């Protein structure tokens, strides 16, 4: 090897060392002082050992070159690797280089890795830690955002897209994460907002800290932007690994069977005692999920947002499924605006990536009130009906107790396209609850009776016997079978096995027009 070749190899080694050093030791120290890992440390922890292959490490901002500065990589690390043997594409913003701000070349790098993920059919992961647009690059930085947004949309429903907010995500930067399928945030160190605290104070006079304005608590409980929140970066990345295990690499695949599947499909007598005999009494639907699903397999999504509905991934005999369940512990399991949005979004993700849907229903109806009506419960509630009717994956409903009114129809009824609907013996399926129905149908008779209470109870009982029971619905073909609660796991497993090759054609169209 000639001296010239030796010099070139030494130069390459020096440049790669500089790239790996990010913005320098001082800035790395400051990053660690905040309790945050560097971009490379995050990638190293997340991906399988020695699987990461970096792309475009020598890209440099034209603006920096013009001003005598040069940071190879331009503040973002991109490449591909594996997680538990599954291929993934990844980008990680490096806060030690210009605060992870997005400039022209930074944006082009992310757009390029998104294209590779879409073309090759593998999940895309974004580790977000950015101060926003690089102001000194002007409109070119805004164009970079547009390039990313377009690809987020283009590959939506093609490959899973997950964003982990591991620092600030401000201004235009917030739109890429929210266009992806899932957002994971870290307590105290990750923030998302369109307008940061300084600008907010300047424009409106309000003084709010970043945590109050756009911290993990706000986005997981109030805005609903964050699907998962973890205390540390390590826990957030572990949650990402678990999340990825439930779905396939792209939309033409089925999720892999779990190697740790629970082989038993025996009776679950505990299910006989979870739902109270009093139809007004609350209970925790998660106890039912735990009995039906493989042990320890349930991963709840949006746990702290719209608690009156529970959604999440689980496995039945190793097969990944999506659960959508009313939660009687909160608002009697009724549907409101937030619950409708939460459920519809989850249903559509499952349909995109071939995950069967299991609905556990116990719903009083859509929550009434002026506030809900004026804020658009009609439009938002229609999203659930749209999502279920649109979905072509296997769809199974189990009516646990109450199924009233329009909410019954919207929650994967036979009329809406459910493949199989089961009901437990105590299920009440009707236009409205027996108490309300009796008051409307027999109001004058009850008021004029010598003993109104006695007459009302008799009318309620008669209505329940004639109309609000699963056998009346089964007689009309709206319920396929009335099953004992303890058989639920066995029957669901059998149904999923028989529908494994389900295929359903829909009218050809560009796309539907969901009531957004």
Q: What is the dihedral of CA 144, 146, 149, 150, to 10 degrees?
A: -110
Q: Where are the alpha helices (DSSP H) in 155-232?
A: 175-179, 197-204, 210-214, 216-221
Question: Three-class SS of residue 25?
Answer: helix
Q: Where are the alpha helices (DSSP H) in 24-100?
A: 25-33, 39-46, 62-66
Q: Which of 295, 292, 282, 281 is nearest to 323 (CA)?
A: 292
Start-to-end CA distance of the chain, whole Å, equals: 65
Three-state SS string over 233-250 comes to HHHHHHHHHHHHCCCCCC
Asked whether the beta carbons of 69 and 107 are under 8 A apart, the reply is: no
Torsion angle of the four alpha carbons 135, 141, 142, 144, in this order, in degrees rounded to the nearest 10: -160
Active site residue 144: no
333: annotated active-site residue: no
Handedness of CA 209, 214, 218, 223 (dihedral sign): positive
Measure the CA–CA gap between 8 and 424, rounded to whole angstroms.
74
Reading the block at residue 297, the tokens are: 């397999």
Enter the tokens of residue 329.
Answer: 């512990």
Residue 415: burial class (beta carbons within 10 Å; 0-12, 13-18, 19+): exposed
Annotated catalytic, 171?
yes
Close Cβ partners of 273 (under 8 Å, ≥ 6 residues apart): none
Please tell me which residue in 255, 339, 343, 407 is annotated as part of the active site. 407
Q: Are 165 and 125 in contact (CB under 8 A)?
A: no
| Residue of 75, 126, 167, 171 marked catalytic | 171
- 371-386 in b/e form (b: 16+ CB < 10 A) is ebeeeebeebbbbbbb
| Active-site residue, from 73, 100, 144, 172 | 172
- Alpha-carbon distance of 106 to 108, in angstroms, equals 6
Q: Write phi, then psi, for 447 (nearest 5 degrees).
A: -65, -35
Q: What distances in angstroms separate CA 199 from CA 195, 196, 205, 212, 392, one per listed residue?
A: 6, 6, 9, 15, 46
Catalytic residue among 121, 157, 224, 406: 406
Q: Does 172 participate in catalysis according to the annotation?
A: yes
Report helix angle 39-46 to 233-244, nearest 10.
Answer: 40
Which residue bears the tokens 């690797």? 81
Question: Which residues belong to the active site?
Answer: 171-172, 406-407
């Amino acid at each position: 090897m000639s001296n010239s070749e030796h010099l070139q190899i030494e130069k390459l080694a020096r440049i790669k060392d500089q790239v790996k050093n990010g913005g320098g030791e001082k800035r790395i120290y400051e990053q660690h002082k905040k309790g945050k890992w560097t971009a490379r440390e995050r990638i190293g922890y997340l991906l399988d050992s020695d699987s990461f292959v970096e792309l475009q490490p020598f890209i440099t901002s034209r603006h920096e070159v013009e001003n005598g500065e040069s940071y190879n990589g331009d503040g973002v690390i991109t490449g591909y690797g594996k997680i538990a043997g599954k291929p993934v594409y990844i980008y990680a913003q490096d806060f030690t280089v210009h605060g992870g701000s997005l400039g022209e070349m930074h944006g082009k790098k992310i757009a390029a890795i998104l294209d590779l993920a879409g073309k090759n059919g593998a999940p895309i992961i974004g580790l977000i830690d950015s101060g926003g647009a690089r102001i000194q690059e002007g409109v070119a930085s805004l164009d970079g955002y547009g390039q990313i947004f377009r690809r987020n949309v283009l590959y939506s429903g093609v490959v899973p897209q997950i964003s982990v907010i591991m620092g600030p995500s401000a201004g235009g930067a917030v739109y890429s994460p929210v266009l992806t399928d899932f957002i994971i945030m870290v307590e105290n160190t990750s923030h998302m907002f369109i307008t940061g605290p300084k600008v907010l104070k300047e424009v409106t006079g309000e003084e709010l800290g970043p945590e109050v304005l756009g911290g993990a608590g706000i986005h997981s409980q109030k805005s609903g932007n964050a699907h998962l929140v973890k205390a540390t970066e390590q826990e957030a990345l572990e949650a990402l690994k678990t999340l990825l295990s439930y779905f396939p690499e792209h939309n033409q695949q089925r999720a892999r069977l779990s190697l740790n599947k629970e082989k038993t499909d025996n009776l679950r007598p505990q299910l006989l005692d979870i739902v109270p005999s009093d139809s007004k009494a609350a209970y925790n639907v998660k106890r039912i999920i735990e009995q039906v699903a493989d042990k320890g397999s349930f991963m709840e999504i949006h746990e702290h947002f719209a608690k009156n509905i529970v959604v999440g991934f689980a496995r039945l005999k190793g097969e990944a499924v999506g659960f959508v369940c009313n939660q009687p512990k909160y608002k009697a399991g009724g549907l409101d605006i937030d619950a409708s949005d939460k459920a519809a979004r989850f249903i559509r993700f499952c349909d995109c990536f071939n995950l069967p849907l299991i609905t556990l229903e116990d719903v009083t109806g859509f929550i009434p009130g002026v506030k809900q009506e004026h804020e658009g419960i009609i439009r938002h509630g229609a999203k659930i009906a749209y999502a279920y009717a649109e979905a072509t994956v296997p769809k199974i409903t189990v009516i646990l107790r109450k199924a009233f009114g329009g909410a019954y129809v919207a929650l994967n009824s036979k009329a809406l396209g459910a493949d199989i609907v089961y009901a437990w013996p105590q299920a009440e399926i009707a236009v409205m609850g027996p108490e309300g129905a009796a008051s409307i149908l027999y109001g004058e008779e009850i008021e004029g009776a010598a003993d109104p209470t006695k007459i009302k109870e008799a009318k309620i009982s008669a209505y329940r016997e004639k109309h609000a029971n699963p056998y009346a619905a089964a007689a009309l073909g709206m319920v396929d079978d009335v099953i004992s609660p303890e058989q639920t796991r066995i029957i669901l497993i059998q149904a999923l096995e028989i529908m494994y090759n389900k295929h359903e054609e829909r009218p050809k169209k560009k796309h539907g027009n969901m009531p957004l």
